[in-house]
A and B are shown apart, each in its own frame.
Chain A
Amino acid sequence: MTQARKQFILALEAVTKSFDGFKAIHDLTFYMDEGELRVVIGPNGAGKSTMLDLITGRTRPDRGRIEFGRDIDLTRLNEWQINRLGIGRKFQTPSVYTDHTVFENIWLSLEGARGILDCLFARVDSAQKDRIHDLLSTVGLQERAATKAGSLSHGQKQWLEIGMLLAQNPKLLLVDEPAAGMTDEETHKTGELLLSLAGKHSILVIEHDMTFVRQIARQVTVLHQGSVLCEGTVDEVQADEKVIEVYLGRGKRHPPTTNEP
């Protein structure tokens, strides 16, 4: 295990986090290879978002280790420090700067210096301009560069946020329900985008939409009550007794079938 660890981009070991006695994450151990595209599924309250919170420094674990790349301890860093290491996060609800133009949104997210002085005297140079326009065409928003982000449609905001994430050129992308609120066509395009990024970047996707999961996933991890229930391909996971028990045992909520919207 120790030898294999060298190539992990992300390692969570025996992580526990509780809120007011409720164990959101319980003894969670999770590894991700460099360049991997991993999908995490699980019923509501399984601890998926809390897991992302722990990785990105939004909350700190009560116990356990979270390491990024070669021995960088994430539990001691805060959000912006973690981001600067190359971990980007897309939130579940689109979070863009509504009062800024699409162009400005991307500019603010572009990798590079982020200090106060840098910001006071920064100018958009032509290389940056080209990069921004490239990114905008990747996410299909080049026509809307001068539009205020607040007036975009829900799907466009999702795309813009993905664009902002790409602008950071992160080593690890954490994507929380990217397909939420998208049309089928948009969802499919998102899937293709994520697939094209895999390899260059490591990507961790949290998703409910099984059609989408099936489209993108090679390896799926199922979370339940704050720890890993099982791992495997989509087919393996869907056939797993425990997984069916967890989803069906909880009533009608989100059985992991491909027919789910």
Chain B
Amino acid sequence: MFAAALVALAIPPLLNAITPEGHFLHVSAFTLSLYGKYLCYSVLALGINLLWGYTGLLSLGQCLFFALGGYALGMHLMLLIGKLGQYKAEIPDFMVFLEFPARFPTTGGLPPHWIPFRSFAFASAAVIWVPGLVALVFGWLAFRSRIKGVYFSILSQALTYAATLMFFRNDFTFGGNNGLTDFKVILGHDINTPATRRALYLASAGLLTLTYLFCRWLSRTKFGLVQRAIRDSENRVLFSGYATSHFKLFVFVVAAVIAGLGGALFVPQVGIINPSEMAPEKSLEAVVWCAVGGRASLVGPILGAIGVNALKSYATHAFAEQWPYLLGSLFVFVTLFMPKGLVGLPDQFRALQRKWRKGVSNP
């Protein structure tokens, strides 16, 4: 099963490489990046599932961490544009446009905290520690004061809302509402060639596989047992001598790092990162991918993320006006009728069948 999934993951880049353009089996670089985007979303969904499905913590701010990871790598990519930009300046275009040279004269217009992002290694590390740190601080505050349930959800939503407002500001030095875009190169390769696209896709597939394996491993350890025990009866765990707040904080930080990694690979494939990517509604949407696929299962979130996003890509082209209806109904339908998501459907059918048989045998 797992091997089959791996093979399926490898097919699109293979088709892109070996079939000529126009061939009926050809997968264009654009489509490949679209699939790559789904894979990054799947990584995000696995992180959400780790929190919600396994620990019972519904964070409505996971896209903040996704976007933070994206921004961290995006900053590096922005600096790589160099003189290839519109203004032919050393610094990113938006900095010229917003007159940063006057604001930061000593660095030629580059805000000081941008400077280390020239290094790919630093940016990659930031993809991990920036979301991790934000999650650590927020989680520490939240869990030590025993904030849980809907309170936690609402506060995480407020966090991502506040961050969105912040990033929308031009003087926050991250490009305001346009965000970071127009990337040209990554690691010395033109970002738009099919070969780079294939590499990025494969990196996403690799990340997804690793994340999946990590989650699978985690769920089978004693830690995984504690995690689910917290979800089902936190007080019992607490009165059994486990520092539940530490466990929750650990999971929260891990989920944030996972989201950040997903976001980092999302950015070069989609070509833009802006504050709307961390808006509260994005995080809610991501939670619904999990719900649709089936939370508290390892495959469910991946199925949900790919399924819902494929549907969205199709729907926003075919009937854009109706997409919000579809999405809204999905939220309602899944929570009411598919509490275990797609993965839980067979069980639900079996239960129905049993009920029906009973009904037939004793009328």
The answer on A and B forming one complex is: yes
- A174, chain B: closest CB distance, angstroms: 9
Q: For the complex, what is the distance from the CA of A100 to the CA of B233, rounded to whole Å? A: 11
B151 interfacial contact with A, CB 8 Å: no
Within residues 217 to 240 of chain A, which ones have a CB less than 8 A from any CB in chain B? none
- Interface size of B as a range: 20 to 34
Of the candidates A97, A107, A114, the one whose C-beta lies within 8 Å of that of B236 is A97
A114 vs B232: C-alpha distance when bound (angstroms) = 18
- Whether A79 contacts B222 by the Cβ 8 Å rule is no
Q: Which residues of B contact A89 (CB under 8 A)?
A: 239
Instruction: Give the CA-CA distance A121 to B222 in the complex, in Å.
Output: 8
Q: Which of A15-58 contact B (CB under 8 A)?
A: 56
Contact between chains at A121 and B243 (CB < 8 Å)? no
CB distance from A15 to the nearest CB of B (A): 20
| A121 with B221, Cβ < 8 A, contacts A99-B232, A108-B226 known | yes
Q: Contact at A122–B222, with CB atoms within 8 Å? A: yes
B188 within 8 A of partner (CB):
no
* A117 to B: closest C-beta gap in Å: 9
How far apart are B241's CB and chain A's nearest CB, in angstroms? Answer: 4
Q: Which residue of A lies closest to B238 (CB)?
A: A79
- Quick check: is A127 within 8 A (CB to CB) of the other chain? no
Q: Which residue of A lies closest to B246 (CB)?
A: A116
Expressed in whole angstroms, the minimum distance between the Cβ of B250 and any Cβ of chain A is 5
Q: A80-B241, A84-B241, A108-B229 are in contact. Are A116 and B223 (CB under 8 A)?
A: yes
Given A80-B243, A168-B240, decide whether A119 and B221 contact each other with a Cβ distance below 8 A: yes
Q: Which of B224-248 contact A (CB under 8 A)?
A: 225-226, 228-229, 231-233, 235-244, 246-247
In the assembled complex, the Cα of A168 lies from the Cα of B225 at a distance in Å of 17
In the complex, A104 has a CB within 8 A of chain B? yes
Interface check A175, CB cutoff 8 A: no
With A107-B222, A107-B225 as contacts: A114 and B233 at CB distance below 8 Å = no
Q: Answer whether A97 and B232 are a contact pair too, CB < 8 Å, given A107-B225, A108-B226, A120-B223.
A: yes
Interface string of A71-86 (1 = CB under 8 A from B): 0000000011001100
Number of A-B residue pairs, CB cutoff 8 Å, is 76
Instruction: Look across to chain A and name the residue whose beta carbon is closest to the beta carbon of B227.
Output: A119
Q: Are A120 and B239 in contact (CB under 8 A)?
A: no
A114, B238: Cα distance in complex, Å: 11
- The CA of A100 and the CA of B239, in the complex, are separated in Å by 17
Whether the Cβ atoms of A95 and B243 lie closer than 8 Å is no
Contact bitstring B196-232, A, C-beta under 8 A = 1, else 0: 0000000000000000000000100111011011011
Residues 196-246 of A contacting B (Cβ, < 8 Å): none
Q: Please tell me if the beta carbons of A108 and B223 are within 8 angstroms of each other in the complex.
A: no
List of B residues within 8 angstroms of A96 by Cβ? 233, 236
Chain B, 65-100, CB within 8 A of any chain A CB: none
Rounded to whole Å, the gap between the CB of A19 and the closest CB of chain B is 17
Residues of B within 8 A of A107 (CB): 222, 225
Report the bound CA distance from A114 to B230 in whole Å: 14
State in angstroms the CA–CA spacing of A122 and B239 once bound together. 20
Known A80-B241, A84-B241: A100·B235 in contact at CB below 8 Å: no
Residues of A within 8 A of B236 (CB): 91, 95-97
**Which A residue sits closest to B228, measured CB to CB?**
A99
Asked, given contacts A97-B232, A99-B232, whether A119 binds B222 with beta carbons under 8 Å apart, the answer is yes
List, sorted by A's number, 23 A–B pairs whose CB atoms are closer than 8 Å. A79-B239, A80-B240, A80-B244, A83-B241, A84-B241, A88-B239, A89-B239, A91-B235, A91-B236, A95-B233, A96-B233, A97-B229, A98-B232, A98-B233, A99-B232, A100-B228, A104-B225, A108-B229, A108-B240, A114-B240, A119-B247, A120-B223, A164-B240
B interface residue numbers (CB < 8 A to A): 218, 221-223, 225-226, 228-229, 231-233, 235-244, 246-247, 250
Pick the 5 closest A-B CB pairs, nearest first: A83-B241, A119-B223, A122-B222, A119-B222, A95-B236
Known: A97-B236, A100-B228, A108-B229. 6 other contacts (CB 8 A): A95-B236, A96-B233, A99-B228, A114-B242, A116-B223, A120-B222
